[in-house]
Amino acid sequence: MACTESECVADCVRRAETLAFADPPPHSIGYMPIYVPRELIHAAGLLPAGLYGGGDRLEIIRGDAYFQSYICRIPRSTIELALSGHLDRLDGMLFPSICDVIRNLSGMWQMLFPDRYVRYIDVPQNFDPAVGGRFWRHELETLRRDMERIAGRPIDDEALRNSIAVYNENRAAIRELYAQRSRAPWRFPLSEAYLVLRAGNSVPPEEHTALIRDYIRGAENDLSRREMDQSRVVLAGMFCEQPPHGLLVTLERAGCAVVDDDLFLGMRWIQGDIPLDGDPLQNLVDAYLTASATTASRYSPEGHRAKWLLESYRRNEAEGVIFCAPSFCDPALLEQPMLVAALDRAGIPHTEFKYSEDTGQFAVIREQAGTFSDSIRLWSAS
């Protein structure tokens, strides 16, 4: 018997949820948020596995002993995952330069697991092709050699072009999901879309792209989904340590339709397609220099820290912004006053709260988000 559209979507979301919190499979290279050039890993026949902490599903037994109380949550759950054997099947770990915590975590990994492959991915903060570009190319050449060694096979340009094409498809599917969400957030609620995105951390990109497209098709055709009386908001600050899924559900129940966010930013770091002709490695370099997403851990030579947020607010016809950053997250929290000032100057409503990946009580957040949503609707109606 054929399932109804709503049952198909529910199946898709269940599958996504199962994948979203799965251990990385064999022949994977783990990477921490935010950005690593996954194409280079994929081209070697390895799976790039995004590690976004243990969420609220992992009891921390040993991880807390490695970190002081004022350090954010994601390193302690990541260490816990490793010490409890969940990451044993990884062939290596990549730590991109996002903040001092992740940077030092790379050194802890070197000390705790001296026999495993560990690399710190030092993304350039200089965007001149002759300077930062040259440095980044050198970093990518090293990573390419390392992946070749681990995989035991060369990465030729054709394989790399193929991987770029695969990820172009994946990014296009994600862009479509975000566009659809922005148009009809009640049809593509964040609490579902989040799981669909998160699944991409533990399955091949081809499979993930198909999952996203299945979900979009199913949700589009699910006529039981009705427009809701919600306020359209942009979420900011969640690019690294992830909120518990329950928090996203809470925001929706509090009357917030999330029309844009910075969750899993690394999956859509490169804005647009990377060209397939010419030198594929140089294309990766150029894409980083010219088409990167804007976020707190990336330097903006031109200033205007809030430009991306204001653009998102306008493009998505949002009505407010929620700063929702992990406790002790230096990049997000140091940036926040600049973003708040810009929103104030533009007269855009906003509210702020913090979370950690294992936050279990949402009553206060629900009240705050609900009041915010109500105030937007009242304010908009007047």
Contacts with other proteins by CB under 8 A lie at: 65-68, 70-71, 75, 97-101, 103-108, 110-112, 119-120, 122, 124-126, 128, 130-132, 134-135, 138, 296-297, 299-301, 303, 305, 327-331, 333-338, 340-341, 354
Cis, peptide link before residue 74, omega less than 30° from 0:
no
Residue 190 DSSP SS3: helix
Closest approach, Cβ 122 to other proteins, in A, equals 5
Rounded Cα gap, residues 305 and 336, in angstroms: 10
Rounded Cα gap, residues 82 and 15, in angstroms: 25
Going by the DSSP 8-state scheme, the letter that residue 49 receives in this structure is E
User: Looking at this protein, which amino acid is placed at residue 103?
Assistant: R
Compare residues 196 and 333 and give the one whose CB is closer to other proteins: 333
Compare residues 219 and 339 and give the one whose CB is closer to other proteins: 339
Closest approach, Cβ 41 to other proteins, in A, equals 18
Compare residues 199 and 333 and give the one whose CB is closer to other proteins: 333
Compare residues 129 and 204 and give the one whose CB is closer to other proteins: 129
Closest approach, Cβ 319 to other proteins, in A, equals 21
CB–CB of 33/329 below 8 Å? no
Closest approach, Cβ 68 to other proteins, in A, equals 6
CB atoms near residue 59 (< 10 Å) = 11
Closest approach, Cβ 154 to other proteins, in A, equals 22
CB–CB of 234/261 below 8 Å? yes
Compare residues 22 and 293 and give the one whose CB is closer to other proteins: 293
Rounded Cα gap, residues 74 and 32, in angstroms: 10
CB–CB of 161/280 below 8 Å? yes
Compare residues 51 and 296 and give the one whose CB is closer to other proteins: 296
Nearest one of 342, 271, 267, 274 to 306, comparing CA atoms: 342
Compare residues 108 and 210 and give the one whose CB is closer to other proteins: 108
Rounded Cα gap, residues 330 and 31, in angstroms: 20
Compare residues 312 and 336 and give the one whose CB is closer to other proteins: 336
Rounded Cα gap, residues 288 and 295, in angstroms: 13
Compare residues 202 and 295 and give the one whose CB is closer to other proteins: 295
- 84-100 burial code (b ≥16 CB/10 A, e <16): bebbeebbbbbbbbbbe
Closest approach, Cβ 126 to other proteins, in A, equals 5
Closest approach, Cβ 275 to other proteins, in A, equals 25
CB atoms near residue 103 (< 10 Å) = 14
Closest approach, Cβ 300 to other proteins, in A, equals 8
User: What stretch of H or E contains 148?
Assistant: helix 134-151
Rounded Cα gap, residues 82 and 89, in angstroms: 10
Closest approach, Cβ 251 to other proteins, in A, equals 20
